[in-house]
Amino acid sequence: MDSPATLPTLAIVIPAYNEEKTIRACVLAALGQTIPADDIIVVDNKSTDATDVILRGMQKEFPDAPLRVLHQDEAQGITPTRNMGFDAVTADIIGRIDSDSVLEPNWVEETKKVFLDPAIDAATGPVIYYDLPLRRYMAKADNSARKAISRLVKQYHFLFGTNMALRRTAWEAVRDDICLDADLHMFEDIDLSVHLFDDGFTIVYSPTMVTGMSSRRVDDSPKDFLSYVKRFDTTYDHHGLRTRRLRIPQWGYLGVYPLAKGLRWSMKLRENSKL
**Predicted local confidence at residue 233, as pLDDT:** 64
In whole angstroms, give the CA distance from residue 49 to residue 95. 25
CB neighbourhood size of 40 (10 A): 25
Average pLDDT over residues 100-121: 97
* 194-204 pLDDT per residue, tens: 899 889 999 99
Query: What does the mean pLDDT of the chain come to?
Result: 82
- Give the chain's domains with CATH numbers: 10-214 (3.90.550.10)
Q: Do residues 217 and 228 lie in contact, with contact meaning Cβ atoms separated by under 8 Å?
A: yes
* 69-87 pLDDT per residue, tens: 999 999 999 999 999 999 9
- In sequence order, what DSSP letters do the residues of 99-120 get, joined into one string? TT-EE-TTHHHHHHHHTTSTT-
What's the distance, Cα to Cα, between the start and end of the chain in Å?
A: 62
Give the neighbor-by-neighbor strand order of the sheet with 93-97. 67-71, 39-44, 10-16, 93-97, 163-167, 122-124, 203-205
User: Is 90 exceeded by the pLDDT of residue 124?
Assistant: yes
Burial class (CB in 10 A: 0-12, 13-18, 19+), 106: middle
Q: Smallest Cα–Cα separation from 250: which of 270, 274, 231, 271?
A: 231
